Amino acid sequence: MNDAPRPYIDPTQIDHDKPRTAPAPAPEPAAWQQASHSRRPAPRARKPVVKSTGRGYFASHWHGEQSLVRSYWVNNFLVATPLAFALTGLMTWISVKGDSLQVSAIALLVTMPLLMSLDVWCIVGAWRSAGNYLRDGGSGLWGWLARIFLALGALQLATSVVFGFLPSTGEYWSMARGIDPLGQAKFSFSADGHSLRLDGVIGMGDGERLRQLLDSEAARELKRVELASPGGRVREAERMAAAMKAHGHASRAVGTCASACTLVFLAGQPRHLTPTGELGFHRASTGTYNPVFEELANQQLAKTYTELGLPQPMIEKTLRTPSRSIWFVPREELLAYSLIAPSPHTLAVPLPADKATLADFDDALHMHPVWEALDRRTPGTAEAVAKRMWAARSAGATDEDVQASAMAPLARQMPELLSGTDVVLRRRYVQLVSDQLKALRTPAQAGTRAGCRDLLDGHLAARQQLPLALQVRETQWLQEAATAAPPRWLPKPPSAIEIEVMDRTVGPAAMGMLSHLWADAPDATAPGPGATCEPVIAMLDRVSTQPPARRELVERLLFNAR
């Protein structure tokens, strides 16, 4: 053991006596350790969360003090968005269905300002809450998504108010007072009580008014409802249709029956379309700019049309027709789908019952397209025919004699029709007469007078012996002649030169050869039973071979007596 003392070492000088060397560098950390050793950014200072200031629930939401979840999903999404659709839906319901227009209008005027205020409260409070959420460091995605949807909700509200409510405020105020701004239909019974006429727009309360009229004592003898309306409230028209079907009355379009009016027309049975009537269809309009409600309204319209028997192709065409346009269905298409009763093919009219009145005969004639056209061309024709037919029925005449009694007033109108037609129509009638004479040239019995001679000599009853096809042709010609535009000038009496030309070309017998065709006063000097029609038929065949100008002259002078 060595007990020798150790030398003293001053700790403050131990490093000063040695040469200084750089410390060894620290070893490079492994790759997986580098991320854990990197400096992390200091967290962003968060503003203190806005705490309640003691305001109530509504005030705290208005100032954005509630959480975004509650402000957006509860107060806005579950309240404001449904309210916006509810307002549009209420206005659509009033416009389309209108089960109680007055009550709905009052409710809308009272609740609309309250609902608008509540909607604004929902949107503004949620917008402010989203702003506070973003300032407190919340997710930018959720904060801005909330604001985008809030902006869309505000746009929906503004659209409903500006384009839906404000322009219609005056209408809602009128409906709240029991006045329909569209107007109301006018109902009137005919003198005999057989017809109830509907004129004008179908408005508020008209469905109930029609039901009461059909149930009244005044409608005890009612047979049909006549329609002349541009349309109106769909719901009121549906009520009218239900009342019509309940009573089983016929419907008749006497003018333009369009839009909602067609629902009432289709409810009748049978259905008639007068020569002046027409049916127009188009899509339903809600008066809003919401395509969802427009589609729902038209689905309901299609369902109603289906229940009333409108064919599917016509329903599809109706839904493709814009509400600002209109599709007038051709009569031929209505007949093809059996939506209207077919028109008579001859001059015969459906005769009323045995105890029919003069008004019944007049009504039957106005339903016939030819007699209606003749009456429009020469007013009073239908009345004169109705009096003769009613007198014949009152005297106990047969149905054939009653129909034949209508020929005399027509005979008095025929000279004006023949002279007032154009060249084409007159030529067609000359050919028709030639075919009629050929059809009746053979007498019914040997030694008797041929029917063609009775036709030429003005025996009107002989026209009933004509084949059906020729009667149909004559009826069609009469309708075209009655509806043709009147001539620009009346024909002048034939000059001596014109008569000379005709005599030299087709013979002097052609002048006035057909002048007694509708005379209704048979000539006592007419040929007897053995006379034939061959010379007249041959003459008409020769006329058809003449040059155009000469043929036109001869065809005109055939009906002029010397």
What are 350-367's pLDDT values in tens digits? 888 777 888 889 888 988
Residue-level pLDDT at 49: 45
Show pLDDT as tens, one digit a residue, over the chain (562 residues): 455 555 555 555 555 555 555 555 656 655 555 555 555 555 554 444 445 556 788 788 888 888 888 888 887 777 766 766 676 666 656 555 555 667 777 777 877 787 788 888 888 888 888 888 888 888 888 888 888 888 887 887 788 788 777 877 888 788 777 777 788 899 999 887 888 999 999 988 899 999 999 999 999 989 899 999 999 988 899 999 999 999 999 999 999 999 999 999 999 999 999 888 999 999 988 665 567 777 888 898 999 999 999 999 999 999 999 989 999 999 999 999 999 988 888 999 988 877 788 888 988 898 888 998 899 889 999 999 999 999 999 998 998 899 989 999 999 889 888 888 888 999 999 999 999 999 998 876 666 778 888 888 888 888 888 999 999 999 999 999 998 887 777 677 778 888 888 888 888 888 888 888 888 766 555 555 556 788 899 999 988 888 888 888 888 888 887 6
| Cα(354)–Cα(49) distance, integer angstroms | 95
- String of b and e for 69-107 (b: at least 16 CB within 10 Å)? ebbbeebbbeebbebbeebbbbbbbbbbbbeebbebbbe
User: Alpha carbon of 472 to those of 333, 366, 370, 400: distances in Å?
Assistant: 21, 19, 11, 17
Residue-level pLDDT at 499: 84
Task: Decide if 227 contacts 205 (C-beta within 8 A).
Answer: no
Cis peptide before 270 (omega within 30 of 0): yes
| Cα(410)–Cα(365) distance, integer angstroms | 13
Which residues lie closer than 8 Å to 438 by C-beta, 6 or more apart? 452, 537
CA 252 to chain centre: 16
User: Alpha carbon of 507 to those of 49, 117, 428, 517, 543: distances in Å?
Assistant: 119, 97, 22, 20, 10
Residue-level pLDDT at 48: 42
Residue-level pLDDT at 237: 94
Whole-angstrom distance between the N-terminal and C-terminal Cα of the chain? 184
Helices H / strands E in the chain, number of each: 24, 7
Residue-level pLDDT at 177: 79
CB-count burial class (<10 Å; 0-12, 13-18, 19+) for 143: buried
For residue 373, give the amino acid letter: A
| Cα(112)–Cα(94) distance, integer angstroms | 14
| Cα(92)–Cα(99) distance, integer angstroms | 12
